[in-house]
């Protein structure tokens, strides 16, 4: 199994809602990532988990809350989002955090905040 | 600080034409890694190639080839006999041995017309 899966594919939420994005990989990778991608822009790193511990938080607002319940799963909890948070949210994984490891990306969740 | 420049923003070609996507990078590290990713309209970033800074050999994979030149800090990507399925956004990316964060260029939108 060489894929990263993400659910849901699309999500529409109001500014007062609480929702979660899910990501799963079964490649035995020990590093997992959340990226945010706006239209016609490159992905921007949000969080990195290494061996299930948060190792990088790129100064992301607290309305985004990541969670890594185990080595295969990564969640992103959303609360009180703003319309400008509408974007494609990509999950990725790699063997570990070493620089030479390629990252494998999921198909993303297209989030719309009304 | 690391930086990746993809000066071309949009390229349009007719099927069967050859096309070269340019990538220029900046880094102070002597050890670094360069990547190309493809992002089709579906949204998922697909890993194409990794090249480390000590390996300047060019690589060919089917219709794809990559030219890495340290002297000009470039890592260009050529698609030979382009096909409609090659239509996508292509990102060049860099990670340094001392900083595992992946830095993306702005991406090149390639449109291949039948």
- Smallest Cβ–Cβ distance between B33 and the set A99, A106, A108 belongs to A99
The shortest CB-CB distance from B47 to any of A43, A45, A102 is to A102
Burial annotation B67-96 (CB, 10 A radius, 16+ → b, else e)? bbeeeebbbbbbbeebeeebbbbbbbbbbb
The DSSP string of B16-32 is T--EEE--EEE-S-SSE
If you average pLDDT over residues B19-30, what whole number do you get?
96
A1-5, A13-17, A28-32: least confident range:
A1-5
User: Hey, is the C-beta of B102 within 8 angstroms of any chain A C-beta?
Assistant: yes
pLDDT, tens digit (0-9, with 9 covering 90-100), for A50-89: 999 999 999 999 999 999 999 999 999 999 999 999 999 9
Report the pLDDT averaged over residues B7-12. 97
Q: Tens digits of per-residue pLDDT, B67-114?
A: 999 999 999 999 999 999 999 999 999 999 887 789 999 999 999 999
Q: Could you tell me the two tokens for A97?
A: 């955090």
Contact A90 B102 (CB under 8 A): no
Decide the pairing of beta strands A87-94 and A104-105.
Answer: antiparallel
- Please give the Cα distance from B99 to B82 (Å, whole number): 35
What is the separation, in whole angstroms, between the first and last Cα of chain B? 41
Tokens of B58: 């060019």
Q: How far apart are CA A59 and CA A46, in angstroms?
A: 8
H or E segment to which residue B44 belongs: none
Residue B13, CA atoms < 13 Å, CB-side half-sphere? 22
Strand partners, A95: none
What per-residue confidence (pLDDT) applies to A1? 59
pLDDT at B100: 78
Nearest to A104 among B32, B47, B101 (CB): B47
Q: How far is A100 from chain B (nearest CA, A)?
A: 6
CA dist B15 and B106 (Å) reads 24
A92 contact residues in B (CB cutoff 8 A): 45
Nearest C-alpha of chain B: how many angstroms from A60? 15
Residue pair A22/A75 in contact (Cβ under 8 Å)? The answer is yes
Tell if the CB–CB gap between A108 and B105 is shorter than 8 Å.
no
């Amino acid at each position: 199994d060489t894929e990263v899966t993400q659910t849901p594919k699309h999500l529409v939420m109001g500014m007062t809602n609480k929702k979660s994005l899910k990501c799963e990989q079964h490649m035995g990778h020990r590093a997992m990532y959340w990226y945010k991608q706006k239209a016609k822009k490159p992905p921007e790193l949000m969080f990195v988990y290494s061996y299930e511990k948060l190792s990088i938080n790129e100064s992301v607002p607290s309305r985004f809350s990541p969670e890594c319940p185990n080595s295969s799963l990564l969640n992103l909890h959303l609360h009180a989002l703003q319309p400008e948070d509408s974007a494609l949210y990509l999950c990725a994984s790699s063997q570990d955090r070493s620089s030479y490891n390629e990252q494998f990306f999921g198909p993303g969740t297209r989030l719309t905040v009304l | 600080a690391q930086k990746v420049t993809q000066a071309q923003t949009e390229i349009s070609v007719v099927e069967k034409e050859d096309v070269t996507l340019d990538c220029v990078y900046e880094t102070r590290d002597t050890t670094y890694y360069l990547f190309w990713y493809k992002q089709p309209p579906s949204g998922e970033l697909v890993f194409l190639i990794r090249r480390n800074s000590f390996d300047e050999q060019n690589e060919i994979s089917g219709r794809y080839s990559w030219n890495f030149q340290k002297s000009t800090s470039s890592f260009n990507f050529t698609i030979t006999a382009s096909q409609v399925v090659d239509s996508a956004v292509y990102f060049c990316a860099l990670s340094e041995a001392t900083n595992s964060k992946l830095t993306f260029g702005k991406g090149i939108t390639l449109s291949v017309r039948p």
